[in-house]
Amino acid sequence: MEQEAKPALHTSSRNTGKVHAPFIYHPEKKRVWAKAALYGYQFWKNYCEANKIPFEEDGVLEVATDADSAKILSFHLDWGIKNGLNYDEIKLLDQNEVKMIEPHVKCHQAILCKKDASVDYGQITRLLANHFLNNDREVKIATLSKVINIKTDRNLDLPGIIEYQNMDGNAVRQMKFDFLINASGSNALNVMNTTKIEHGYQDLFFLGEYWIAPSKYNNLTRRSIYSIPQFHQFPFLDPHWIIRTNGHREIGPNACPVFSPYGYDKLNNLKEFFPKLYKLTLGEHRINKSILRKEMFNLVATEALSSVSKRYMIKRVKKFLPSIEAKDFTIRGTSGIRANIIDKNGDFISSPIFKLHNNVLHILNYNSPGATGVFPIAYALVFKLVDKGILRYNNNGIEQRKLTNLTPFDEKLIENCRKEIEVEFK
Ligand SMILES: Cc1cc2nc3c(=O)[nH]c(=O)nc-3n(C[C@H](O)[C@H](O)[C@H](O)COP(=O)(O)OP(=O)(O)OC[C@H]3O[C@@H](n4cnc5c(N)ncnc54)[C@H](O)[C@@H]3O)c2cc1C
């Protein structure tokens, strides 16, 4: 069920478009993301090549602009290898070596990772949806259908009921289900709250904005450039220099606080400010501690400033690409919103949350590298649901074959996801 007229109009079409290499994820603390990124790369490469759509293996440079942040590069190199990258896919470069491959980049040290690619996730998500619709008569996508309520029972033999609103006529309808997956992106916690289950989560929304570079900067670098994040205790990267598959070069994203999953414009944000404040401080799932601690305050101030001031945002990238000028950036790119889940203490949760309640699986906090890792995570979830006896294959195993025959997916890769991605149901 999709509330919009077609799939992937929100975050999946409003992101940086990178198939992320796994070197920025801690091998233990972020194991799910690390493995999902490692195997996700091969899934998307197979899929894009089979369907003749762009999968640019352009690689990435992660730069440290001073000796202090260079220390983090050594960790990232180590994590990359531990997470399964080969020695010929990732290496540490000094400033002279960087100058030889990217003469316009200024830094102290950098990591060059070849296994990082650019795609258009909106395009491939819609292509994938069409593949299912055209090849499998049992798959339907109900567009313009907004889920407004979910009712379930502890007795799993009883079907659940979805209430949904038809967005063209506004009529409210009902539908029964045996099993439901709530994968509604930044809106997932709101959807989960309709089931009235107890939990200790709140969500904070952050708008990632972009600026499109003029074409005179098209040959400035050969690859996308990231820097070591200023606020590495939070799950965001700093604005980077991005190479898009459509040929654009862009700067972004920042992470400006907004107050709703769709707060793309200022008016919508203003409207949502007080309801959100109420939810955080007085509502049923309010958090105990103030989230406006010193680090959080610094983050909010920096990111809000880079939203208000183009110059400030571009200055963050100018640190490692000194030849760019803020005045040359006149067109905004497409911004996207991430919903970060915080716990009762106001602490950010960095991994995705899979909450199984009665016959509904809720997917929360599904942020970057969510698009990269979507196949590995989806396989891991389905295998787990099968192992728990909640889903089952037909007697002749048809469901599994359908998934694998749709595109040239590699059986070995799928087996790796089953064995190595340990998704935990809360
Ligand atoms: C700025 C930014 C940059 C990013 N860059 C990258 C990147 O480079 N690489 C990467 O791997 N990841 C990246 N990510 C993360 C990645 O984009 C997301 O993890 C992924 O797109 C999430 O997909 P989703 O299907 O969960 O959410 P969405 O794409 O938002 O899809 C959710 C869908 O649910 C629908 N929906 C919501 N509520 C309802 C309802 N009540 N009824 C019916 N339908 C509903 C929505 O309309 C939407 O179509 C980025 C994220 C952001 C915000």
Give the helix/strand (H/E) hosting 164: strand 160-166
* C-beta neighbour count of 72 within 10 angstroms: 16
Give the helix/strand (H/E) hosting 316: helix 310-318
Ligand 1 pocket test, pick from 10, 189, 209 with the greatest ligand atom count within 8 Å of Cβ, gives 10
pLDDT tier for residue 111 given thresholds of 50, 70 and 90? very high
Find out whether 55 and 71 touch, Cβ atoms under 8 Å: no
This prediction has a pTM of: 0.93
Pick the more confident residue, 412 or 102. Answer: 102
* Beta strands at 180-182 and 360-364: parallel, antiparallel or unpaired: parallel
* Beta strands at 353-357 and 211-212: parallel, antiparallel or unpaired: unpaired
Mean pLDDT of 144-155: 95
User: What pLDDT sits at residue 238?
Assistant: 85
Q: Of 282-291, 298-307, 396-405, give the lowest mean pLDDT range.
A: 396-405
Ligand 1 proximity of 365 Cβ (cutoff 6 Å): no
Ligand 1 proximity of 338 Cβ (cutoff 6 Å): yes
User: What pLDDT sits at residue 398?
Assistant: 47
**pLDDT tens string 236-264:** 778 999 999 999 999 999 988 898 999 99
User: What percentage of the chain exceeds 90 in pLDDT?
Assistant: 70
Ligand 1 proximity of 2 Cβ (cutoff 6 Å): yes
CA 11 / ligand 1 centre spacing (Å): 3
Q: Counting atoms of ligand 1 from 1, which one is nearest the CA of 369?
A: 11
Domain range list for the chain: 11-122+202-342
Mean pLDDT of 266-291: 70
C-alpha to C-alpha distance for 94 and 220, rounded to whole angstroms? 19
* C-beta neighbour count of 87 within 10 angstroms: 9
Q: 151 pLDDT exceeds 70? A: yes
Q: Counting atoms of ligand 1 from 1, which one is nearest the CA of 9?
A: 49
Mean pLDDT of 160-168: 94
Q: Both tokens of residue 137? A: 């008569």
pLDDT tier for residue 295 given thresholds of 50, 70 and 90? low
The CATH class of 11-122+202-342 is alpha beta
Q: 273 pLDDT exceeds 90? A: no
User: What pLDDT sits at residue 406?
Assistant: 56
User: What pLDDT sits at residue 90?
Assistant: 98
**pLDDT tens string 191-246:** 999 998 999 999 999 999 999 999 999 999 999 999 988 776 676 778 999 999 99
Average pLDDT in the chain: 90
CA 261 / ligand 1 centre spacing (Å): 10
Q: 131 pLDDT exceeds 90? A: no
Q: 114 pLDDT exceeds 60? A: yes
**pLDDT tens string 320-333:** 999 999 999 999 99
